[in-house]
Structure 1
Amino acid sequence: MSPPERRSGSPDGAGLPGLLGRIDGDRALATAGLAALTWTYVSVLLGVTNVVGGSLRFVAAVAVALGFAVVAGRVLSVRVAVGVAAVFVVAGFSGYILTLPASQLQLLTPARILNDTIALVTGLSILRLVGAGTWATAIVPTPVFLSWYLAVRRRYGAAAAAGGSALLLVVLTGDADGATALVGALGATLAAAAATADRHGTGLGQADVLTVVVATMIVASATLSVVPGAATSPVLPDRNSPTVEASLVEADDRVEVVGSIRLSPSVRFTVESDDASYWQTASYDRYTGEGWVRTGDARPYRGELAGPPGETRTLRQRVTAADPLSVLPAAWQPVAVTDNVGSDATVTPQGNVRPGRSLRPGETYGVTSRVPNATAADLRRAGTDYPDRVTETSLQLPERTTDRVRDRSADVAGDAETPYDTAVAVERYLEAQKEYSLSVPAPSGGIADTFLFEREAGYCTYYATTMVVMLRSQGVPARFATGYTPGEAVGDDERVVRGLNSHAWVEVYFPDVGWVRFDPTPAGPRETAETARLTEARQSGATDIDIPGTNGSATTPSVSDGRPGEIDVSEGVTPVGVNVSSNGSTNTTPSAGTPDAGATTDDGGAGGSPLPSLPSTRTLLVGVAALVGVTAGAYRTGAVGRAAGLLGVQFQRRRDPDTDAVRAYRRLAVLLEHRYRPRRPGETPRAYVDSVAVGLFDSDDVRRMVTLYERARYGDGVDSEEANEAVATVDRLVRSSTPVVRRFR
């Protein structure tokens, strides 16, 4: 098969000079754009494999596909290359299926495959796939090969389309951030522009169009979302720090660890239950380094669920929503849900029950849980014979997990002989070594590494994440759980749970027992801090922080019945800006009703400076992009030129008489063009003025001005008096005809 034809005029010289001659501007533009586009989706998929393992295989797959594309572009026809790409797709998908666990293969049906595909393109993160790493490695060769094969064949538009489809996929799944998507969009636009230039020889004359397109992409990607927020998760965020709930309980399938957060004293629900417990809403098994992802798909709730494998006690609860509730809080492990809520509920692979809709205020549901009842001795005897489904999901760590995290974890575990002893050692270490604060800077890099070695303080998300990572590094299966702590006791077996009770903790798996809760977050200051926060809200006149008829004691019971992993499980919650030392004492406590200066209050306001805060860097960049796009669009439509022309005719800088007369006429021509039409090709200045100025200006003055222009440009010139006459005539016409001058006269 012959190589692709060169365009006419391309040099055939051998060696380096000939090679450089063949690299024209269009090809360089296309190569740069396609390289940027390829980097975007490859970097996203590489990040996936880094989280779950297999990045070396992924890099090898990309390199092979790229090398094969360069060779195939010289010897294979387009039809054959498309067939090769189809083989890549089939082989990759088959490989992905074969690596799925047996439990997932049993659920694999054509309908399930279709549903998963639809879910992927409507916001399902790739990281939620059980075999995410294998999927990424299987999918990447096709767009890499096809796009670069087409680029070698100089089919730049088709190459951009092939690579753009891969970028579109990772954008729709939500795995590509805004910056990555913008770089990819810019790369695809440049490659498409090169295709136009290569075919029509327009070069970069359409740069203004490209600028408008890219600016539109930037603004759109920053302001629009593929999937709108749920009823209890507003599309527009609060103007200040997020609440604990927003970052944990309402996080749905993904939790990102953020910086400072704030507390909400508003009542969320009430619970009638014989015992206090943590009211769990979700658990997450895949750690990304920056947060957590829940893998797998939920299945419909079809009646009573299987409970933990070991000895349990039954705990029944009646939950009543005080606010719209998009979760079903329940003591672990829920096995049955009653009332209408269960009819459309789903069950996650991790065992949490989720509602099919948001509960309305006042709506209730019943839930039965079977709570693990093992003793410390039972957990020490549990051993390490973990089920495959547990080790496959609950020992994962990103490849970039640092050696110092693993070494510190080993040091903390010391000579612990059992997983239970390791869990207790890590829990106590974090409680003792780190202070508790909700006011912390946003993390950078791995959460566990940052918290262990670079931060002295954090809140529940940092503690729980770090403990899970430390345990997994020592071969102990653990996962990240979210929900609410017990809440305030307001009567016999009744508790009020507020937004400030939202919390994150750790669950550790023990064979023949199941998942057992551990909480490394310091618990001592909880009651004092919660009382202060509620007092502050009450003094400020808040009306949604108490249930009518309750005692309003503002105390929260601790679950401390002696069960392992449940030593004072209530979270040490403190107002923003209050640091809690490991011994439970508060370093600084604002007086009730008076937040610290600069501390974020629950209503989104901030104490201290009355000056409005500056827009974020991201907002400023989007604004600049919008401004550049509007300017480029105005330039494309000629609005910039017309506006510049009108400004230019307002004043005239004087030089010599002939130049002044010529400049005066050109000012007049701009004025006439703005009001009527441009001068046509071949039309003389006198004919142009006669055709458009009749009835608008003094014909004698205009004709006199044109005469002076003709003498200055083509004849024997004009003197100073005549030049002054020409300038004065145009000044008078400008003042009487342009809105800019009339407005300020």
Structure 2
Amino acid sequence: MNITDRNPDIGLFRVLALGGALLVIGSFVGVVHDIVDVISDPTALQFVVVLTFVGSTIAARYLTVRNAIIVAFVLLSGGLGWYLMGLSGASLWPWPHIRYTLALMTGNSILGIVNLEAWVMAVTPAPIFLTWYLAVRRCHVAGAIVGGATMLFFVLTGDAGADLTLLGVVGVVSLVGAGELDRLDAPISEADVVATVVAVAIVVSATITIVPAGAVFAFSPDSGLSGSAAGGSGGGSSADTLEGSLISTSEELSIQGSLDLTSKLRYAVRSDEETYWRVGAYDLYTGDGWVRRGETGPVDRRLGSPPGRSRTVEQTYRAITKIGTMPAVWRPSDIAGPAADLARGTRLGGLRPSQMLAANDTYRVTSEMPIAAGADLREAGTAYPDSIANQYLQLPDSTPDRIGERTQRLTSNADNPYDTARVIERWLETNREYSLDVSKPSGSIADSFLFEMERGYCTYYATTMTTMLRTQGIPARFVVGYTSGQRVAEDEWVVRGHNSHAWVEVYFPEVGWIRFDPTPAGPRESTAQQDLDAAREANESNVDTNRSQDGEWTPTPTETETQSGDSQQQTFDESDISIPEYYAPDEVELNGSNVSSGTVTEFARPGNAPGFGTANDSQDREDDSGLPIPSVEQFTLGALAMLGFAGVARRTGLTRRTYRAVWLRWQPREDPATDIERAFERLEWLLERRHRNRQPGETVRDYFEAVDADERAWRVATIRERSRYAGTVDREAADEAIELVDELVGES
């Protein structure tokens, strides 16, 4: 059949099918666009997408399906080859990449891929090209398979949000449904079938979540680890906790809303000194969480020493419960002991076990802790190595400019990175309240905590400080681990779940990474102590050892004398700064408040401080007086859902019945003659619904007598007869007819 002889309605179905192809392509392009936005400007990706669409449209005119598939294969294989060539020589071996791809489909985000922007540029053109080519060539099912499989990949990695996933589902349904109607030359009246299926797909997709089992490691404050990955140590529901990100092997940390902490014991630690027990760092900020890029590797390739001065700290860790982390003081240089064989090194220099540690597993760590005088840190300069600057200055391209602008104003009197970091640290500590009861904001966590929120817990403080530092060109990273815990002997501590914590590390040239902690220590420790007291009163298990029941250990005079006289004990000049210590910047002025000689005066809160008052804040704050503005994805889904439900209503007759119900019960006023005629039509329809239809040729009088009409109905008929045949009509009579019919309708 010649194309000109086909049903003219197919034009609509072809447009709908191509629209479905655009939706499914837009869904996975939206995912990679958001991902690229995290690490760089997505303009280059946008250019590649447009270029691929143009090329695919031209190819649909000249290439056969077989040749188009070959082109798509060349695009994908060539892109991956180009990506691999950009990696180091050791990374060219294909098996690690195949293994990591399989891991991606069990819930690992592609944000962990090294040189991610190049990977996206390499893999994106092929599925766009083939999906659009097949849709244009009317191979609708094949196009849906290619586009849907691509979107499914990102669903399995956990990178596709609910809105984009729904768009992908709707796109697949529309592409297949409208495409088949186009192929069958279906009449336009069948369009509501596609709309109905789209509506059902939206409802079903909104209520079903695909969660790869391998990605879930939950922690329950009541029962420890939960789920198969946890070894089945506890039942019941799991809760969102900060420690949940510390005890799992996940490379991602999603910042939560309100959470609970647990007093369950985690580790017993012997150490030369009291400090933080560091679990790991994250380098990639996504706006609402953190990702640790790169794979783990052999320990001997990942351990080392800081570039500057350091002192040796020996630690021994004993796991009290089954757990999935290996804390170590920064920077670990050696690991030994029974559990050392399980250790792997992360790309950021931390430790993690290749499998869960069992209770009583032990390992020993030797660490080289960076030390530096405050003056050394101020004079360290900004000659950051390219590898440090490229990795630890990253911010999403969508990060609001007002974060950097406020940070610049806050630190305007600090002339070096060290003083800048101290001002930010103390400002956050002083101007935000510590609380575990918060609602997770939408959008950028750092922006919300800096401008909208009044309270939060450590992940909010650390995320915001890291972001503020990066806006000023200072390399910083987000770090998680445990605070020292309860001291039970001169060199021993017990660590509980409520000691889980997050802080910041800042890089100084020729010194290394130095810790900063903007979270107020007093409220955090008070919250942990209250949790422990409540657990003890409730006689909960696994919250104390024999030594911890007697409270905090304090040295006796004899022990102090022995310690001071011990020839093996290293001593250090008080001008040295190790990670746990705090040195305030000299003569740094913040909004009229001086920070000098190690004494910090009270910082003014936003709204009171010069430059941060209500008037000046108005330029930073967005107008939140109205309702939230839906995203493009949400608006599109809403519009499609409305069209779909309209199709359902039409197919089921709901639209007609709804219209008739409104028409019957509501009559607007016009001129008297029109109003009387409309009232009689309503009356006649009501009588036909109650009794029977009026037969052709049957007079009104005969019909009313046959159905034994009400006196009010006869009165309406009389008014209509006078209006139609005698020309006697007035407003009063019209109103009477309407009111009488309204009464009859109300009784129906």
TM-score by length of 1: 0.70
Which of 103, 106, 118 matches 2:102? 118
Corresponding residue for residue 112 of structure 2: 128
**1:57 equivalent in alignment to 2:44:** yes
| Maintained 8 Å contact 2:242/2:259 | yes
Percent of aligned positions that are identical: 39
- Matched residue, 2:739: none
CA contact (8 A) 2:169 2:201 kept: no
**1:235-314 matches, cutoff 5 A:** 235=227, 242-250=240-248, 252-302=250-300, 305-314=303-312
Structure 2 SS opposite 1:88: helix
State how 1:164-563 maps to structure 2 within 5 Å. 164-200=148-184, 220-222=208-210, 225=213, 227-229=215-217, 234-235=226-227, 242-250=240-248, 252-302=250-300, 305-553=303-551, 563=577
Contact 2:36 2:42 in 1 (8 A): yes
Measure, in 1, the Cα distance between the counterparts of 2:265 and 2:348.
27
Residues of 1 paired with 2:160 and 2:390: CA distance? 25
- What's the secondary structure of 1:221's corresponding residue? coil
Q: What SS does structure 2 have at the residue aligned with 1:496?
A: strand
Partner amino acid, structure 1, of 2:467? V
Offset at residue 527 of structure 1 (A): 4.2
CA distance, structure 2, for counterparts of residue 43 and residue 119 of structure 1: 22
| 1:200 Cα offset (Å) | 4.3
Native 8 Å contact 2:434 2:524 kept in 1:
no
Distance in 2 (CA, whole Å) between partners of 1:159 and 1:215 is 23
Alpha-carbon distance change, 221 to 9 in structure 1, aligned in 2, over 3 angstroms: farther
Return closer, same or farther for 1:428/1:416 CA change in 2, 3 Å cut-off: same
Matching residue within 10, 18, 30 for 2:6: 10
Amino acid at match of 1:288: T
TM-score, normalised with respect to structure 2: 0.69
SS in 2 for 1:351: coil
Partner letter of residue 436 of structure 2? L
CA offsets 1:422-460 (integer angstroms, 9 cap, x no match) = 211211221122221111111211111111111111111
| Of 67-76 and 207-216, the range deviating more from structure 2 | 207-216
Quick one: structure 1 residues 116 and 527, their matched pair in 2 at CA, closer, same or farther if it must change by over 3 Å? closer
Question: Which residue of structure 2 aligns with residue 158 of structure 1?
Answer: 142
SS in 1 for 2:209: helix
CA distance in 2, matches of 1:225, 1:447: 27
* CA gap 1:568/1:271 in 2 versus in 1, 3 angstroms: farther
1:69 matched to 2:69: no
Whether the aligned pair in 2 keeps the contact of 1:301 and 1:343 (CA below 8 Å) is no
Asked if 1:45 is matched to 2:32, the reply is yes
Paired residues of 2:301 and 2:345 also in contact (CA < 8 A): no
Counterpart of 2:75 in structure 1: which amino acid?
F
Distance 2:394 2:301 in 1: 31
What is the letter of the counterpart of residue 261 of structure 1?
L
| SS of equivalent residue, structure 2 residue 409 | helix
1:413 Cα deviation after fit? 2.2
Aligned residue type for 1:27: R
Q: Tell me the equivalent position of 1:738.
A: none
* Contact 1:273 1:316 (8 Å CA) reproduced: yes
2:79 maps to 1:92:
yes
Work out the CA distance in 2 between the residues paired with 1:121 and 1:391. Answer: 31
Contact conserved, 1:303 with 1:336, CA < 8 A, in 2? no
Contact 1:519 1:566 in 2 (8 A): no
Judged with a 3 Å threshold, the aligned counterparts in structure 2 of structure 1 residues 365 and 230 are, in CA distance, closer, same or farther, namely farther
Change (3 A) 1:149 1:406: same
Contact 1:260-1:441 within 8 A present in 2 as well: yes
- Distance between the aligned counterparts of 1:252 and 1:321, measured in 2? 19
Deviation, 1:64, is 1.4
Q: Which residue of 2 aligns with 1:80?
A: 67
Q: Residue 700 of structure 1 aligns with which residue?
A: none
2: distance between equivalents of 1:312 and 1:340? 27
Contact 1:272–1:319, Cα closer than 8 Å, also in 2? yes
1:145 aligns with 2:154: no
Give the Å deviation of 1:206: 7.0
Structure 2 residue runs of 5 or longer lacking an equivalent are 229-234, 556-572, 584-600, 604-636, 653-688, 696-748
Q: Show CA shifts across 1:382-407 (max 9, x none).
A: 22222222112101011111111111
CA 1:556 to 1:467, structure 2 compared with 1: closer, same or farther past 3 Å?
Answer: farther
The whole-number CA distance in structure 2 between the counterparts of 1:526 and 1:82 is 59
Counterpart-to-counterpart distance in 2, 1:60 and 1:23:
32
Change (3 A) 1:276 1:158: same
Q: How many Å separate the matches in 2 of 1:530 and 1:583?
A: 25
User: How far apart in 1 are the matches of 2:367 and 2:380?
Assistant: 22
| Partner Cα distance (2:345, 2:578) in 1 | 27
Return the alpha-carbon distance in structure 2 between the equivalents of residues 467 and 445 of structure 1: 17
The one-letter code of the counterpart of 1:234 is S
Distance, in Å, in 2 between the alignment partners of 1:283 and 1:470 is 17
In the alignment, is residue 26 of structure 1 matched against residue 13 of structure 2?
A: yes
Most deviating of 233-242 and 544-553: 233-242
